[in-house]
């Protein structure tokens, strides 16, 4: 995500959708208020209203806010309680990552229809190198327009695109183009674009670094570019000084790296009130395993190692993991593993946070499945895939994990039992 507060959208004709895109093969595409926009697409009656997605409890944090909510000062990573105070009339929704993952995969496929050189940064943004796509689709700005049009028409979502000679400048461009805009930064105008910006716009400049640079009298990127490197080195260290000096002069040689498989997929929850009830803990671990399983299946991945994370009321955190004989994307199998790990752990204290994670990922269609001795061919996975299909139509919160409700093994003809 960009720092939109540092980069107000402007009307400088040197940088706009019709500017010269010669030598600008890099696109940065950033979906607009992605989680909130996907929720509005799912519930059209919310269109035009302030929508906030995130933890809805007293310890929750905002994950995404519609632009209607942002007008009241609501921002990502803000405590939900603060967001409620700023915008009490907003609609507050818990995140549905199954829905967001599905939307992200559809959007990323649109990008890959243009070029194989797609580097996702998260579910809602990616870099594209379109140098090799010119013959089929035209110059970079035209390609950006086509992508924006397809995302709007096929997915009912909007995105902002920066077109530039490098990844760093393209990302700044998409931030300045928000919401629902396109900005081209010509190769010959990069320094004209960069140097008036505040130093906080540079990658690697956090709040503390910005304060340090301001104390040195370096307020803009241009100030930093002209400052002696030795002065910045003394203040921030050699590596940071070199990195920022290069960026301040618009130099970013990094190439777009095609998507690499995620190293892990996980889910965790922070309780509104610390808990020690075994039944609630068990139910929570099962729900987290179901969420991880749905995300694995949505990404076409299976995990070889399953881990559980437990954070106590005093913030001490313990993690335990187990490597499976056969990789899995089945929630019930992951739950059995994490519950076993948790039982051995026996924290005996009130718990603030629980998490479940699958690691050692590989492509599901390239990983042979093995049945346990005596196990039928159809069972938990088929039940969970059916739940995925129902959730895609009606929403995960409506369907809920079937195993969580009944604890019944779909492979057996037995009476339901509580998990």
Residue 254 within a domain: no
Residues 281 and 311 occupy one common structural domain: yes
| pLDDT given for residue 259 in this prediction | 65
Query: Of 249, 277, 294, which residue constitutes the final position of a domain?
Result: 249
Residue 417 within a domain: no
Q: How many CB atoms lie within 10 A of CB 320?
A: 16
| pLDDT given for residue 52 in this prediction | 97
| pLDDT given for residue 263 in this prediction | 77
Active site residue 384: no
What is the span of the domain harbouring residue 94? Answer: 27-185
pLDDT digits (tens, 9 = 90+) for 143-159: 999 999 999 999 999 99
Residue 179 within a domain: yes
| pLDDT given for residue 126 in this prediction | 95
Residues 223 and 299 occupy one common structural domain: no
Q: What is the mean pLDDT of each run of 10 residues along the chain (419 residues)?
A: 42 79 97 97 97 87 95 93 96 92 93 94 93 94 97 97 97 95 96 95 86 94 94 90 93 86 82 90 94 87 92 90 88 93 85 93 68 46 62 52 42 33
Separation of alpha carbons 125 and 171, rounded Å = 10
Q: Cβ neighbours of residue 367 under 8 Å, at least 6 residues apart?
A: 302, 327
| Percentage of the chain lying above the pLDDT 70 cut | 83
Residue 354 within a domain: yes
Separation of alpha carbons 40 and 19, rounded Å = 33
Strand order of the sheet with strand 118-122?
118-122, 125-129, 26-31, 159-164, 182-184
Q: Cβ neighbours of residue 259 under 8 Å, at least 6 residues apart?
A: 108, 118, 119, 120
Residues 101 and 141 occupy one common structural domain: yes
| 204 sits in which H/E element | none
| pLDDT given for residue 387 in this prediction | 62
Residues 133 and 225 occupy one common structural domain: no
DSSP state of 71: T
- Residue 314 is labelled as binding a ligand: no
Provide the whole-model pTM: 0.68
Residues 46 and 174 occupy one common structural domain: yes
| pLDDT given for residue 332 in this prediction | 92
Query: Of 134, 164, 185, which residue constitutes the final position of a domain?
Result: 185
Residues 31 and 178 occupy one common structural domain: yes
State whether the Cα torsion 8-10-15-16 is positive or negative. positive
Residue 255 within a domain: no
Count the domains in the chain: 3
Residues 68 and 216 occupy one common structural domain: no
Are the beta carbons of 170 and 27 closer than 8 angstroms? yes
Residues 226 and 111 occupy one common structural domain: no
Residue 61 within a domain: yes
Residues 131 and 221 occupy one common structural domain: no
* Catalytic residue (choose from 39, 68, 119, 125): 125
């Amino acid at each position: 995500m960009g720092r939109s507060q540092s980069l107000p959208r402007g009307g400088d004709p040197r940088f706009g959708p019709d500017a010269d895109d010669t030598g600008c093969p890099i696109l940065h595409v950033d979906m607009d208020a992605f989680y909130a926009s996907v929720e509005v697409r799912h519930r059209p009656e919310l269109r035009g209203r302030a929508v906030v997605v995130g933890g809805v409890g007293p310890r929750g944090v905002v994950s995404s806010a519609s632009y209607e909510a942002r007008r009241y000062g609501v921002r990502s990573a803000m405590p939900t309680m603060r967001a409620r105070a700023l915008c009490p009339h907003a609609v507050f929704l818990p995140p549905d990552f199954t829905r967001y993952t599905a939307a992200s995969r559809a959007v990323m496929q649109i990008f890959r229809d243009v070029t194989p050189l797609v580097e996702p940064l998260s579910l809602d943004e990616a870099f594209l190198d379109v140098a090799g796509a010119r013959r089929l689709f035209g110059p970079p700005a035209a390609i950006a327009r086509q992508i924006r049009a397809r995302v709007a028409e096929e997915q009912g979502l909007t995105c902002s695109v920066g077109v530039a000679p490098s990844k760093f400048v393209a990302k700044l461009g998409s931030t300045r183009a928000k919401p629902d805009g396109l900005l081209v930064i010509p190769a010959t105008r990069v320094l004209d674009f960069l140097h008036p910006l505040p130093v906080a716009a540079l990658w690697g400049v956090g709040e503390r670094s910005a304060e340090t640079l301001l104390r040195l009298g370096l307020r803009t990127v241009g100030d930093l570019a002209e400052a002696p490197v030795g002065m910045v080195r003394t203040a921030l260290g050699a590596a940071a000084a070199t990195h920022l000096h290069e960026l301040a002069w618009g130099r970013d040689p990094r190439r777009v790296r095609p998507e690499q498989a995620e190293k892990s997929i996980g889910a965790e929850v922070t309780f509104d009130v610390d808990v020690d009830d075994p039944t609630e803990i068990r139910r929570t671990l099962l729900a987290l395993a179901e969420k991880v399983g749905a995300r694995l299946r949505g990404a076409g991945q299976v995990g070889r190692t399953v881990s559980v994370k437990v954070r106590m009321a005093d913030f001490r955190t313990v993690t335990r993991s187990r490597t499976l004989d056969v990789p899995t994307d089945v929630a019930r199998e992951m739950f059995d593993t994490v519950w076993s790990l948790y039982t051995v752990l026996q924290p005996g204290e009130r718990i603030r946070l629980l998490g479940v994670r699958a690691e050692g990922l590989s492509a599901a269609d390239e990983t042979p499945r093995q049945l346990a001795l005596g196990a039928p061919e159809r069972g938990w996975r088929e039940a969970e895939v059916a739940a995925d299909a129902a959730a895609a139509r009606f929403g995960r919160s409506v369907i809920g994990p079937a195993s969580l409700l009944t604890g019944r093994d779909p492979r057996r003809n037995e009476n339901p039992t509580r998990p």
